[in-house]
Amino acid sequence: MLFELMIAIIIGIIAGIFTGITPGIHINLVAVLILSHLSLFKQVTPLSISIFIISMSITHTFIDFIPSVFLGAATDDTALVVFPAHQLLAKGLGYEAVILSIIGSLTGLIIITLLSPLLYLTIPLFYPIIQKNIVFIILFALGALVYLERNRLWAVVIILLSGTLGFIVFKLPVREGLFPLFSGLFGISVLYTSINQKTLIPKQKISFPKIQRPYSAIIKATFASIFTGLMPGLGPAQAATLSTLGKNNKKEEYILMVGMINTMIMVIAIIAWVTIEKARNGSIIAITRLIHTMPTSTVLLFFSAALIAGGINVLLTPFITKLFIRIVHRVDYNKLSKIIISLLLILVLWISGYLGILIVIVASAIGVLCSYAKIKKSHLMGCLLLPVLSFFI
């Protein structure tokens, strides 16, 4: 049994590397494929399949920063990290950006594991309170985003434009609508701006970041992750938005926080299912279809698999990053940006069809407008915050 579980972890890590490094391929897609083809896995226990999904999901949260940093391929998990990471890349510090995300992911994994006994006891108590006040909390977040921006008029415009587009995308019969939405808002728009500004990517340094007093970033990311990880319709993107409220965060802090949030919310989803029986992401929904009850022993196995996968990815991710750096060194970045934009458009067409192309064009225009107006990219999260707000109202 132990050997089977270890094999499940290893295969899960391999699958997580594939989903993390390939734009447009999400862990939820793999989970759905497994559920729809369970007849092919008759010899595999539901527990082993669940361990595979946990390992894949944790690995994905480590690896998916690499295409975000070097390719500008944004997802709802990494959207806010694309622009600050791109700035570090332009300074030859792309490797440091990934290392920061790794540190954040590992820190988040350790913190949420240590907090899990406390959360197990307290979540059933404060969850109803949060649920009743979700509208006011989202309104506060939107108000704070506008208030903290120097050009508040443009902040409102960007939030409304992105929010309106978000409404439309959720209403359209388009497959994986978030992929073209985020590819345009946070990916192609950044690459397009870089091409127009004739950005030159210098030789990338293999160096380690210096993190000065990250306590504030860690605390904000922890609270934002716990809050959004419990609420329906909220996830890493909204947690990242909430965690960046307050004083101006350094690029390094953004990346560290998003790394933490990405991994923490994945683990919090396990705790949420055990404590309040709410599945908050596709991976956990798939697991609940396989295992209907989760005794303490099973939960401990899930946490063990997450920690093992996290530890292995601390070693694997830097190695994969160095391979990406070799590609960046050999190719003119403006040409590479055009190639990446073309590939993203092809992926959008393949995954989301012609409606996806229309979405990505409009989203890219809004993202470029945000850049030229010199407004923080976090305002583009109106694409999710406004639809979620309307859902609760």
Which residues form the domain of 187?
A: 2-392
Using CA atoms, how far apart are residues 224 and 269, in angstroms rounded to an integer?
14
Compute the distance between CA of residue 67 and CA of residue 23 in angstroms, rounded to an integer.
7
Please tell me the distance from the alpha carbon of residue 124 to that of residue 4, in angstroms, as a whole number: 34
- Residue in the structure block whose two tokens are 């299912």: 273
Say what the pLDDT of residue 142 is. Answer: 79
Contacts of 67 by beta carbon, 8 Å cutoff, 6+ apart: 20, 21, 22, 23, 73
For residue 256, give both structure tokens: 């560290």
Q: Which residues of 194-208 are buried (b: 16+ CB within 10 A; e: fewer)?
A: beeeebebeebeeee
Residues of the chain with pLDDT under 50: 76, 78
Answer yes or no: are the C-beta atoms of 26 and 75 closer than 8 Å. Answer: yes
**Separation between Cα atoms, residue 42 and residue 35, nearest integer Å:** 12
Per-residue model confidence (pLDDT) at position 344:
80
Tokens encoding 301 = 């196995």
Query: How many CB atoms sit inside 10 A of residue 372's CB?
Result: 12
| H helix count then E strand count, the chain | 17, 0
Q: How far is CA 117 from CA 80, 184, 279, 296, in A?
A: 30, 40, 19, 11
Q: What share of the chain is helix, strand, coil (3-state, %, to 5)?
A: 80, 0, 20
The residue whose two tokens read 């309104």 is 139
Concatenating the DSSP letter of every residue in 78-122 gives TGGGHHHHHHHHHTT-HHHHHHHHHHHHHHHHHHHHHHHHHHHHH
Q: How far apart are CA 342 and CA 319, in angstroms?
A: 27
What the block records as the tokens of 260 is 């933490």
Tally of domains within the chain: 1
Q: Residue-wise over 71-88: b if at least 16 C-beta within 10 A, else e?
A: bbbbbbbbbbbbbbbbeb
Q: Are 162 and 382 in contact (CB under 8 A)?
A: yes
- CA–chain centroid gap for 260, Å, is 10
**Class of residue 98 by CB neighbours under 10 A (exposed 0-12, middle 13-18, buried 19+):** buried
- pTM for this model (two decimals): 0.74
Contact indicator for 80, 221 with CB cutoff of 8 Å: no
User: Which tokens in the block code for residue 315?
Assistant: 């070693």
- Secondary structure letter of residue 380 according to DSSP: G
Q: What's the pLDDT score for residue 17?
A: 92
Closest by CA position to 86, among listed 241, 255, 263, 326? 255
Report the distance separating Cα 178 and Cα 364, nearest Å.
Answer: 13
